[in-house]
Amino acid sequence: MPGLTFDKRELGNLEYSLQREMLATDRRGGYMCTTIVGCNTRKYHGLIVAPIDNSHNAYVLLSSLDETIVQHDQSFNLALHRFRGVYEPRGHKYITDFGYTPTPTITYRVGGVVLRKELLWIHKRTQLMIRYTLVDAHSETTLRLRPFLAFRNKHELSKANMYANVRSYPVHNGVKNRLYDGFPWLYMQLSKDDARFVPAPDWYYDFEYQQEIERGYEGHEDLLTTGYFEMKIRKGESIIFSASVDEMHSADEIREAFETSIARRTHKIDFLSCLRHSARQFIMRRPGDRTEVISGYPWYWKDGRATFISLPGLTLEQGNKEDCMAVLDTMVGDMRNGDFAGSASAEEEVDAPLWFFWTLQQLERHVGAREIWKKYGEAMKGILRAYRKGFYGGSIALHENGLIWADREDRALTWMNGTLNGSPVTRRAGYAVEVNALWYNAVQYTLALASKNGDKDFVAEWKDVPARTKASFIGKFWLADEEYLADYVGYDRVNRSVRSNQIVACGLDYTMLDDEQRVNVLMTVRQHLLTPKGLRSLSPQDPMFEASYRENPIEQESVSRNRAVWVWPMMFYVNCGLSLEGAKFLPVVREMLENFLENIQTYCIGSLAEYYDANPPFSPRGAISQAWSVGGVLYIKDVAERVADMAAASAVAKRTKSSAAKKGTAKPAAAKGAAGKTTAAPKTAKASAKGVKKQQK
């Protein structure tokens, strides 16, 4: 697959460069994020954005750093900012190159001066390092660096005030700043011993963040600069700037930290290496031996449902079972009375604990069924019993018909949980199709493991539940005339909207549908919902589809689950197609993956967006880097490779068998059963081949 390429001729074009953002994380919840030309367009952008306590809050400490080249008493500011509709300074005109690997690198040319800038976030520390190398110069050159400080919550904006501490305190080769009590000190230091800091505190007003304004939010901020660094730089010389919440004690320590860290960086040279790198950025190691998943950058934190859905693709595709289990162990450790904590709780997200079972099914391939039961069997049984007992005063519970009912007036409990003016947009009160598909899968999987491991009491207690669930599910959800599944059933109403939720019921290990029904659902989803970027959450033929488009950008985000294209449901579309047709479905899957090649070069470099517009050109929207989008694509790639490998192994076996037969050494075609009868191969659904071939056309 092709690698990252950037049009050098377009770097000075703001319509091109401001739509491309770069992200680097410290694997602890902190990150650096800005555009490829260094102009912040979101309040979430910054060079150091990091948690400062054990909560989910992250804070913008260092917003930006202006570089100025001085020659012959002439100053050339290389920075780029927007102030209420005006760009000033306009340093992007000096940019001649941008590279992404092994670390984001920008090259500037000012007359005869060529300056290279390498930005490096240090893993497992809240530290940004920038190495400046003067590649070429023909006169004495001075480098000036001016930091802009925010010290505020990433969801808020800084305003000029009289309370900020504008003093800079000397430390080795630099200064330390702390604008407000309760924040850590920010140490800004250089690898050059004779660099000097010039105190010159001042507020700069009305930085404008265009992306926030376009989203319908406040987008103007005041930032404080307490002064600037100034130093001579010779041709061929490299100077490293370090900003950290921990002090560096010598220039050698700064240089060594940079060299050691950059040597460990992987090279993001193609689609797969970029996505794998992006996947690792979501895994967060927190104090207290906790490993968690950030659901999306730059504004999300952790979310239970998104964690379970994305985790197999984020970790297991790279063979990293340790991180997968560490995340699961953290979440299981927080369980109480058969329910997870926080956003993973059934009271908050009714389906979140049921996704836990799906994640375990993917993990089983790497550790075995016995290990799954040993580590997680009690948690699995506890979850099922908790659903039977009910949550939130019975508003969420297993009914006598074997189906899960869920309804809370104050919130939408399924993944379609957008709100508008404080009210759920898509409440889906009652029996939801994917929730009950996940319930059936969870019960069947737990029964299978319990039976293998001799837990007779659990098997006796639960063995009759799946049949009751299946009968009720088919009776309530299967729309015989339309030949697809209802979206939800509740309060004497059957919702017949064609939504992507039904595909989950077709792509789980344990499904209540026969092959003919799955083919029909697959065809319906393909006709109404399939796009090059995933599945629409609602058919364009539904009256609510166009009604979901809002003038107000904030409202557009709120209804995104009612009309946008999402990547993660495509995992179950692919699972369904491959289970029905095997390797014959692989060309469809390969085309799906190829449709994402261009996306790693736009929006967030090397990653995938939260969702996409429902109509061409399917522009990326929402969070610039989303865990279940990245995890979803990597999961699909992994599943497709396993099917391809099995098909290749089967072909080799057939050739070997054929060759042996020609030599007269073939074994009997089929084994004989105890009664002397030939064991027949499993039959395929009659509609299966015909239906999926129509899709491929």
pLDDT at 685: 41
Give the model's pLDDT for residue 529: 97
What does the domain layout of the chain look like in residue ranges?
8-263, 276-644
Give the range among 30-34, 344-348, 467-471, 546-550 with minimum mean pLDDT: 546-550
Does residue 696 have a pLDDT over 80? no
Q: For residues 289 and 148, what is the distance between their CA atoms, to the nearest angstrom?
A: 34
Q: What is the C-alpha to C-alpha distance for residues 639 and 582, in angstroms, rounded to an integer?
A: 11
pTM over 0.75: yes
Q: Look at residue 40 and tell me whether its pLDDT is greater than 80.
A: yes
| Helix boundaries (H) for 112-226 | 210-214
Q: What is the CA radius of gyration of the chain?
A: 28
At 135, the amino acid letter reads: V
Q: Are 414 and 434 in contact (CB under 8 A)?
A: yes
pLDDT tops 60 at residue 607 = yes
Residue 45 has pLDDT above 70, yes or no: yes
Residue with the bigger pLDDT between 266 and 157: it is: 157
pLDDT classification of 651: cutoffs 50, 70, 90? confident
Given pLDDT bands bounded at 50, 70 and 90, which one contains residue 684? very low
The residues, any chain, with a CB within 8 Å of residue 388's CB and separated by 6 or more, are 397, 398
Percent of the chain with pLDDT over 90: 82
* Dihedral angle computed from the Cα positions of residues 90, 139, 146 and 221, in that order, rounded to the nearest 10 degrees: 0
Position 225 pLDDT exceeds 90: yes
- Can you tell me the distance from the alpha carbon of 246 to that of 126, in angstroms, rounded to the nearest whole number? 8
For 315-329, 546-560, 583-597, 599-613, which range has the lowest pLDDT when averaged over its residues? 546-560
CA-CA distance, 456 to 454, in Å (whole number)? 6
- pLDDT, greater one: 489 or 9: 489
The per-residue pLDDT for range 485-520, each reduced to its tens digit, is 999 999 989 999 999 999 999 999 999 999 999 999
Q: How far is 568 from 571, CA to CA, in rounded Å?
A: 6
Architecture of domain 8-263: Distorted Sandwich (2.70)
What is the structure's pLDDT at 500?
97
pLDDT at residue 694 greater than cutoff 50: no
Write down the mean pLDDT value for the chain.
92
pLDDT of residue 547: 53
Nearest residue to 544 via CA among 562, 526, 561: 562
Q: What is the pLDDT of residue 650?
A: 87
Q: Please report the pLDDT score of residue 679 as a whole number.
A: 30
Residues 40, 42: Cα–Cα separation, whole Å: 6
Distance CA 376, CA 546 (A): 45
* pLDDT for res 574: 98
Side chain identity, residue 631: G
* Per-residue model confidence as pLDDT tens digits over 597-606: 999 999 999 9
User: What pLDDT score does 1 carry?
Assistant: 45
Query: Model confidence over 385-400: pLDDT tens digits?
Result: 999 999 988 899 999 9
CA distance 472 to 400: 10
Reported in sequence order, the residue ranges of 431-552 that DSSP labels E, i.e. its strands, are: 431-432, 478-479, 484-485, 488-490, 493-495, 530-531, 534-536
The upper half-sphere exposure of residue 525, i.e. CA atoms within 13 Å in the direction of its Cβ, equals 33
Q: Coil, strand or helix: which one is 544?
A: helix
Nearest to 153 by CA among 182, 177, 173: 182
Burial track 108-136 (b if 16+ CB lie within 10 A, e otherwise): bebeebbbbbbbbbbbebbbbbbbbbbee
What is the enclosing helix (H) or strand (E) of 186? Answer: strand 186-190
Per-residue pLDDT for 664 more than 70? no
Q: How far is CA 83 from the centre of its chain?
A: 31
3-state secondary structure of 669: coil
Local confidence band at 558 (pLDDT 50, 70, 90 cut-offs): low
In this structure, are residues 322 and 313 in contact, taking their beta carbons and an 8 Å threshold?
no
- Residues 6+ positions from 628 with CB-CB distance below 8 Å: 295, 306, 309, 310, 567, 568
- For residue 284, the SS3 value is strand
Does the pLDDT at position 686 exceed 60?
Answer: no
Backbone angles phi, psi at 89, to 5 degrees: -70, 180
Judge: domain 276-644, CATH 3.40.50.10860.
no
Q: Is the predicted pLDDT of residue 670 greater than 50, yes or no? A: no
pLDDT of residue 34: 98
pLDDT tens by residue, 361-374: 999 999 999 999 99
Chain segment 134-193, per-residue pLDDT in tens? 999 999 999 999 999 999 999 999 999 999 999 999 999 999 999 999 999 999 999 999
User: Residue 52: its pLDDT value, please?
Assistant: 87
As a whole number, mean pLDDT of residues 193-206 equals 97
The CA angle 561-565-570, to the nearest 5 degrees, is 110
**Geometric angle at alpha carbon 87, from 82 and 88, rounded to 5°:** 100
CA torsion through residues 677, 682, 687, 692, sign:
negative
Report the C-alpha gap between 504 and 154 in whole angstroms. Answer: 35
